Structure 1
Amino acid sequence: MTSTAAPWSHAPVRVGLVGAGPWAQGVHARVLAAGPETELAGVWARRPEAAQETAAPYGAAVAARFEELLDTCEAVAFAVPPAVQAELALRAAKAGKALLLEKPIAEDLGAARRLVDAIEEAGVVSQVTLTNRYHPETRRFVEAASEADVFGARACFLSDAFLGGAFATPWRLEHGALLDLGPHVLDLLDASVGRISRVRGTGDPRRWIELTCEHENGAVSQASLSGSVNVAEGVARVELFGSGPELVFDSSELDYEESWPVLRREFATAVRTGVSGELDARRGLRLQTLIAQVSEG
């Protein structure tokens, strides 16, 4: 487990931020500016006024063009729709910039493969913001699961995000919970139950979709996903069953402020050492491959 208690002995990584929506303002800009491992070097967004609003609290520069942002930083963080991210991140990788990517890393499998190919050809560091995986409680759950004899699992990721508000965005409404919540649940099932060999889906991802995963170790897991249900609070829960006691991951009481220092430290460490961690773009591609299995039927 990464320790953020030790002093940071390197220069802060200068990170440019692409995007200026609620997630960029509420998480990425704030977390990157908090340091000491990183500093917010600049912000670029399609709407200049939103970029200014995002950059101003931290005294960061506002870039007039994406290429201008690349000139001011050594790494780029993205908080934009998947299709936009895949295009711009590919350009950033070719420019030699380390990448902090959102999930999913692209809108479709072909774009995800092209992005990962560009990252590997350029030899740049990458990391994916799979929020749960940076929380200490999640890591304890995954570690405990690695020592358990798991036969099967069930998961439930539900929210009302698509019913209105800041996250009822066009790409989420078009593609639904599979593309938005799918990376989270498939990542957790793959990490805790065992490597997924096959996943099938039933239902409408814009309303409710059920996933059935077959794992290489013989276990079977199922997951219910929806972003369109009227729930007072979001549900993100994974339950593992086998020969030992039940193991449960439940995000309802997690304070995600504990995730961000871990994410920031691990990304900056990867940049300074030149070595990506487990949750890199290749991990994002694996999750995109599993999602494509569902879409293809």
Structure 2
Amino acid sequence: MTKIPGAKPRIGLLGTGPWAERTHAPALAAHPGVEFSGVWGRRPEAAAALAAGFGTRAFAGVDALFEASDAVALALPPDVQAPLAARAAAAGCHVILDKPVATSVGTARDLAAAVTAAGVASVVFCTLRFAEPTARWIGEQTAAGGWFLGEAHWLGSLFAPGSESAYAASPWRRDKGGLWDVGPHVLSVYLPVLGDVTSVTCARGPADTRHLVLRHTSGASSTATLTLSAPPGAAEAALSLYGERGRVTMPGWDGALDAFGGAVDALLEAVRSGEPHPCDVRFGARLTEILAEAEAASA
């Protein structure tokens, strides 16, 4: 049975890594409209420390956290996330998922089917869809239409020599690279503005770099260069559109913390209204399908 949140919905957190510690936990603890109901992690000592730091409690088992929550946010590797999110949905919890929702097409589709069958609301935390400046810009360009080309590059330096990023130790990022880590961000902008992807070409560049060429249902085409191995001095994330109004460039945004608060608000609105959010688990599954096609093309 789907849970109907009360005046102050209870949201729990699955995950204790740097992403959970720096984004999910502080955003949930600071959100005035929710109760941060607890933390579960694969390492109990890390869950206890994270919970204590943000004034909530640690749970030894996920099912107990599901019972104590109306919704859960997941900050876990994608293929760990998917089965736990399906369990949460079956327990009646609404879900805030991380991107990508899974790295296997079958797993992503199974997750979307499980969440849909459970009748719970879902949001996939693609940062650019929930950070206020970029979300507003995406809405404006979608309404304007008339686009001919898109051009994007997301050059991260996570794996550059000397990197001290806490995310550089992430095994799934090491395995899947920038295509799967930052590719969902670019696609989350292109799809609402240019339409679904109808064809994918992907070529390899240095290290984990991938160059994508996409065609869209609107007739537009787009490109994206994605990497986590750029030299630090070259690190940048940018996206431009070209069309009837000339060139427009996506604005910057101020980190992920406020954006995650926006994702919480979006989930709560989807629960209240009964209307699925455009960036829900089915959208997340579609991103996995496109990325898997790109990965196969580059192989």
**Is TM-score (shorter-chain normalized) higher than 0.5?**
yes
Match of 1:194 in 2: 195
> CA RMSD of the aligned region, Å?
1.9
Match of 1:269 in 2: 269
Pair 1:217 & 2:218 matched: yes
Provide the aligned length of Structure 1 versus Structure 2.
Answer: 288
Q: 1:159 aligns with which of 156, 164, 171?
A: 156
Q: 2:92 aligns with which of 96, 104, 128?
A: 96
Aligned counterparts, 1:98-117, within 5 A: 98-117=94-113
> Conserved in 2, the CA contact under 8 Å of 1:108 and 1:288?
yes
Structure 1 residue 28: Cα displacement? 0.5
Cα-to-partner distance string for 1:234-254 (whole Å, 9 max, x where unaligned): 422111112322110143x54
Match of 1:46 in 2: 42
**TM-score, normalization by structure 1:** 0.91
Aligned equivalents of 1:190, 1:166: Cα separation in 2 = 30
- 1:246 partner SS: strand
Structure 1 residue 260: Cα displacement? 3.3
Aligned equivalents of 2:59, 2:233: Cα separation in 1 = 39
Matching residue's letter, 2:123: Q
Distance 1:285 1:166, change over 3 A: same
- 1:247 partner SS: strand
Aligned equivalents of 2:59, 2:274: Cα separation in 1 = 26
Aligned counterparts, 1:1-297, within 5 A: 11-146=7-142, 147-163=144-160, 164=163, 165-168=165-168, 169-203=170-204, 207-232=208-233, 234-251=235-252, 254=254, 256-297=256-297
> Conserved in 2, the CA contact under 8 Å of 1:17 and 1:79?
yes
Aligned equivalents of 1:231, 1:189: Cα separation in 2 = 26
Distance 1:233 1:296, change over 3 A: closer
Matching residue's letter, 1:241: Y
Distance 1:50 1:232, change over 3 A: farther
Aligned equivalents of 1:277, 1:151: Cα separation in 2 = 27
> Conserved in 2, the CA contact under 8 Å of 1:37 and 1:268?
no
- 2:246 partner SS: coil
Structure 1 residue 136: Cα displacement? 2.2
> Conserved in 1, the CA contact under 8 Å of 2:27 and 2:257?
no
Cα-to-partner distance string for 1:175-231 (whole Å, 9 max, x where unaligned): 111111111111111122333212221116952100000011221111100001112
Aligned equivalents of 1:80, 1:143: Cα separation in 2 = 29
> Conserved in 1, the CA contact under 8 Å of 2:70 and 2:94?
yes
Distance 1:31 1:233, change over 3 A: farther
Matching residue's letter, 2:37: A
> Conserved in 2, the CA contact under 8 Å of 1:193 and 1:240?
no
Aligned equivalents of 1:274, 1:206: Cα separation in 2 = 44
Give the gaps of 5 or more residues in structure 1. 1-8
> Conserved in 1, the CA contact under 8 Å of 2:96 and 2:264?
no
Matching residue's letter, 2:155: L
Greater displacement, 26-35 / 96-105: 26-35
- % identical equivalent positions: 36
Match of 1:5 in 2: none
Aligned equivalents of 2:55, 2:203: Cα separation in 1 = 48
Aligned equivalents of 2:95, 2:270: Cα separation in 1 = 10
Aligned equivalents of 1:143, 1:59: Cα separation in 2 = 36
Greater displacement, 199-208 / 128-137: 199-208
Distance 1:255 1:183, change over 3 A: closer
Greater displacement, 104-113 / 258-267: 258-267
- 2:159 partner SS: helix
> Conserved in 2, the CA contact under 8 Å of 1:42 and 1:60?
yes
Aligned equivalents of 2:13, 2:206: Cα separation in 1 = 30
Match of 1:6 in 2: none
Structure 1 residue 275: Cα displacement? 3.5
Aligned equivalents of 2:245, 2:294: Cα separation in 1 = 31
> Conserved in 2, the CA contact under 8 Å of 1:155 and 1:222?
yes
- 1:221 partner SS: strand
Matching residue's letter, 2:211: E
Cα-to-partner distance string for 1:245-283 (whole Å, 9 max, x where unaligned): 2110143x5454442332221122223444331111011
> Conserved in 1, the CA contact under 8 Å of 2:24 and 2:260?
no
- 1:171 partner SS: helix
Aligned equivalents of 2:256, 2:136: Cα separation in 1 = 15
> Conserved in 2, the CA contact under 8 Å of 1:33 and 1:39?
yes
- 2:103 partner SS: coil
Distance 1:257 1:75, change over 3 A: closer
Aligned equivalents of 1:137, 1:52: Cα separation in 2 = 35
